[in-house]
């Protein structure tokens, strides 16, 4: 196991501690003996039992978010409003204004390090992203509010690096499609749609995609914290963003069709052109907006592009500046994830 977390010993705040990434991060920090405070919206007995100090507050409660930063040496800001549907105001309040509250708390209480969980979606441009690196500019004309607000928040975090009086050092990580045991989103959603017969291969079915195994994503966050503590230099990560993946892009639909039989489900064979998927997505978005339906539309223009286009990224910068090396391969992760399937499902 990567033990770089043990190089630092100070107290940390984790936002989004009930999420997939945040919870695993908290457990790793606690296992290393770090004092951990977690910003949560509800009581979490399992975290309390571990000795985690809980602060009950929503990211929109700016005074509480600011106060939670007091006495901390590092803040891991993993919380966000995710998804592809919802009001612009809700996304802005959580992802932009919530991040600003975290930044203000860090500045006011002289927090030394802020590790921000961003997303590769901030560079979404509707085209294939094949081996893209951090020189790629932020996207424009985002098709939904999630990447737009995450891009604004990431900019704020990067611009806050090394700003007096506290000399806060900041870094943004862009993990892509985190998965593994306990994943409440990616794999369960694929399996649910497959069971309902709603999966379709969009486009030619040859697009390559990066995923990130959960333990590798946690490693990256801990390594980023340690790297921020280094003296200034060309490879210091302060104010920078880094793509984080397994470094093993897969052909998306081949990977899904390898996954489904392990769950006792048939492979997906039905197809939909990208043009048709976009048309269906636009129509669904219009219906959901006019009728104010709850939940996400079954297809959106953003999802159509994500299912059909390449989106895999270079991790060379993370390797060089953070010392990041994915230690759990895609094959090992899949074996761990599906152990016991389909009996336990």
Which residue numbers are catalytic?
146
CA atoms within 13 A on the CB side of 221: 29
For residue 220, what is the enclosing H or E element?
helix 214-228
CB within 8 Å of 148: residues ≥ 6 apart: 91, 142
Q: Which of 255, 239, 117 is nearest to 175 (CA)?
A: 117
Quote the CA–CA distance of 283 and 243 in Å, as a whole number.
33
Beta bridge partners of 169: 113
Residues 6+ apart with CB under 8 A from 137: 123
User: Distance between CA 272 and CA 280 in Å, rounded?
Assistant: 10
Q: Note whether 322 and 223 are within 8 A (CB).
A: yes
Helix (H, G, I), strand (E, B) or coil at 284: helix
Taking the alpha carbons at both ends of the chain, their separation in whole angstroms is 28
Per-residue CA distances from 87 to 143, 147, 188, 207, 331 (Å)? 13, 13, 25, 30, 38
Rg (CA), the chain: 20
Rounded Cα distance between 264 and 52, Å, is 39
CA dist., res. 284 & res. 15, Å (int): 33
338 DSSP assignment: H
Query: DSSP of 71-129, one letter per residue?
Result: T-SEEEE-----SS-S-HHHHIIIIIIHHHHHHHHHHHTT--EEEEE--GGGG--SS-E
């Amino acid at each position: 196991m990567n033990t770089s977390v043990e190089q630092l010993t100070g107290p940390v705040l984790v936002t989004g501690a009930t999420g997939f990434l945040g919870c695993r991060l908290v457990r790793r920090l606690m296992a290393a003996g770090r004092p951990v405070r977690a910003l949560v919206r509800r009581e979490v007995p399992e975290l309390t039992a571990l000795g985690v100090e809980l602060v009950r507050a929503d990211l929109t409660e700016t005074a509480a978010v600011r106060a939670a930063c007091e006495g901390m040496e590092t803040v891991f800001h993993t919380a966000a409003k995710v998804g592809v549907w919802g009001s612009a105001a809700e996304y802005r309040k959580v992802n932009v204004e919530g991040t600003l509250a975290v930044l203000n708390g860090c500045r006011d209480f002289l927090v030394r390090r802020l590790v921000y969980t961003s997303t590769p979606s901030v560079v979404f441009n509707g085209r294939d992203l094949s081996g893209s690196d951090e020189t790629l500019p932020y996207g424009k004309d985002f098709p939904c509010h999630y990447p737009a607000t995450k891009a604004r928040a990431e900019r704020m975090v990067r611009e806050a690096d090394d700003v007096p009086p506290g000399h806060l050092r900041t870094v943004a990580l862009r993990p892509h499609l985190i998965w593994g045991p306990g994943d409440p989103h990616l794999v369960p959603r694929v399996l649910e749609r497959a069971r309902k017969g709603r999966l379709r291969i969009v486009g030619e079915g040859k697009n390559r995609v990066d995923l990130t195994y959960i333990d590798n994503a946690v490693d990256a966050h801990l390594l980023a914290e340690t790297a921020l503590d280094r003296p200034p230099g060309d490879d210091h990560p302060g104010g920078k963003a880094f793509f984080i993946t397994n470094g093993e892009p897969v052909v998306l639909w081949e990977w899904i069709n390898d996954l489904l039989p392990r769950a006792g489900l048939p492979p997906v064979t039905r197809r939909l052109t990208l043009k048709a998927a976009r048309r269906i997505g636009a129509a669904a978005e219009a219906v959901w907006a006019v009728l104010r339906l709850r939940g996400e539309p079954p297809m959106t223009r953003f999802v159509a592009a994500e299912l059909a286009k390449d989106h895999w990224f270079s991790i060379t910068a993370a390797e060089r500046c953070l010392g990041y090396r994915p230690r759990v391969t895609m094959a090992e992760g899949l074996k761990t994830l599906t152990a016991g399937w389909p009996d336990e499902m």
